[in-house]
Structure 1
């Protein structure tokens, strides 16, 4: 797991290629990250299934309740399968763009 902080966003990259083990580590250390926007980079896990992504839903919901963004980066995923309350994008650049847009929306009170 590689952690990089940039401004109001923390990017956490899975270095093992196992989304379930990655989710477990992020959940264990969640209190360290809860005050920042999160990008969870799952690019190394080439076998991402819908069920694997849905495992991140409780963490996503919890983080969004704290008025912060959580974006998953998964380049080889069928985005139409994901529920609307999850934000899944193919690249890190797109993840940063989504967070910036959500920050602006929060600042404007949407």
Structure 2
């Protein structure tokens, strides 16, 4: 896992781990990130399927309940194939845009 903090979010990139190993590692270390907006970047991961991403659903729900955003970057699968709680975008720029919009919505009380 490669971790990069920006003003908007913490970007966590997976470059070498299998998605299952990444999920296991991320789950164990989630407490470190629970108060931050997160972007999970799987753009360089191969063989990621819908079932792999759905593993993150409980964490995504918990993260949103804590008033934080979590976005997944994945360019191999259509974003429409996921439940509404999981936001999947194809690029980092779009992920940052989503988090900025959600921050504005929270500030306005939506």
Structure 1 gaps of 5+ residues are: none
**What TM-score do the two structures reach when normalised by structure 2?**
0.95
- Structure 2, unaligned runs of 5 or more: none
1:75 is matched with which residue?
Answer: 75
Report the aligned-residue RMSD.
1.0
Larger mean CA deviation between 80-89 and 43-52 belongs to 43-52
Q: Mean Cα displacement is larger for which, 11-20 or 64-73?
A: 11-20
CA deviations 1:5-41 (Å, max 9, x no partner) are: 0114100000215211111111111111111100000
Aligned length: 110
Once superposed, which parts of structure 1, at least 4 consecutive aligned residues long, lie more than 4 Å away?
A: none
Contact 1:10 1:37 in 2 (8 A): yes
Question: Is the 8 Å Cα contact of residues 38 and 71 (structure 1) preserved in structure 2?
Answer: yes
For the 8 Å contact 2:8–2:100, the answer to whether it is kept is no
